[in-house]
């Protein structure tokens, strides 16, 4: 079972850059998207269906052209859950989950802390999300939370570890992510790869991507209950439809 997560930074823009051809070649069983920046009625869903994803689910922000997540599936899920039921986070369309027989997969887009107000919102979101997932796992023990967490976990995950005053690498953010993982999750990429210089996001400034001056802020966090099913986890930096790139986890079915 191949699961890909990809912050596309606007699905309509990505479609103009060959996204569908890439999707057909990558051929995941499940694709989790973040930052779709579109309402469902603004999309021609037939292009996804023709690519083999008849089951596609879209959870947009109330604000047009902003945020939003989606999940594309080859097989029909048993259950689809839009949002978390927490009003303070759901209006921005940041969480969508599909449940299969032996695993549930979530597409998460955690806020960035671009200014003091958004940073406060981000910390509130993180606290509420942790409570939500703790309760959820009592009913859904086999969970993969895919997505853009907007946090580098450790120094190895950022090209310049001295950037300690920037949101995405603040000590408080890193502590939160560390605590969240330690509640019973596996960072699937680091489970297989301990090497530096692997990133999933690059600034558009200063030729950062060509120089690989990036951040690893996208994750497949997999519950420890799925540890024996993990086969591979890797990053696809050659896919260039966004300032992020896709990340992949493969599990035994």
φ, ψ of residue 43 to 5 degrees: the values are -115, 150
Residue whose token pair is 């981000």: 122
Q: Exposure string (b/e) for 165-178, b if CB count within 10 Å is 16 or more?
A: eebbbbeebbebbe
Tokens representing 107 are: 């597409």
Q: What is the separation, in whole angstroms, between the first and last Cα of the chain?
A: 6
Active-site residue (options: 148, 157, 187, 218): 148
How far apart are alpha carbons 108 and 9 in whole angstroms? Answer: 14
Rg of the chain's alpha carbons, rounded to an integer? 17
CA-nearest of 181, 219, 208, 212 to 196 is: 212
Name the H helices within the chain.
Answer: 11-15, 19-26, 46-50, 87-90, 116-139, 171-181, 188-192
148 is catalytic: yes
C-beta neighbour count of 210 within 10 angstroms: 8
- For residue 83, count CB atoms less than 10 angstroms from its CB and return exposed for 0-12, middle for 13-18, buried for 19 or more: middle
CA-nearest of 31, 19, 42 to 98 is: 31
Active site residues: 148
């Amino acid at each position: 079972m191949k699961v890909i997560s990809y912050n596309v930074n606007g699905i309509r823009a990505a479609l103009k850059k060959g996204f569908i051809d890439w999707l057909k070649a990558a051929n995941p069983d499940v694709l989790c998207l973040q930052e779709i920046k579109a309402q469902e009625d603004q999309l021609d869903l037939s292009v996804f269906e023709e690519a083999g994803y008849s089951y596609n689910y879209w959870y947009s922000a109330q604000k047009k052209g902003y945020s939003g997540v989606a999940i594309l599936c080859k097989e029909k899920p048993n259950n689809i859950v839009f949002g978390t039921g927490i009003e303070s986070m759901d209006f921005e369309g940041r969480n969508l989950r599909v449940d299969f027989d032996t695993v549930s997969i979530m597409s998460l887009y955690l806020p960035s802390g671009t200014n003091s107000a958004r940073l406060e919102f981000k910390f509130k979101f993180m606290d509420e999300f942790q409570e939500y997932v703790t309760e959820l796992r009592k009913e859904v023990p086999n969970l993969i939370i895919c997505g853009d967490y907007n946090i580098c976990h450790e120094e190895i995950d950022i090209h310049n570890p001295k950037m300690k005053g920037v949101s995405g690498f603040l000590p408080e953010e890193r502590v939160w992510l560390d605590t969240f993982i330690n509640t019973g999750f596996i960072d699937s990429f680091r489970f297989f790869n301990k090497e530096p210089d692997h990133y999933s996001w690059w600034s558009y400034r200063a030729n950062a991507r060509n120089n690989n001056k990036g951040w690893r802020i996208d994750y497949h966090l997999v519950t420890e209950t799925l540890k024996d099913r993990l086969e591979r986890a890797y990053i696809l930096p050659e896919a260039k439809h966004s300032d992020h790139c896709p990340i992949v986890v493969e599990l035994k079915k």
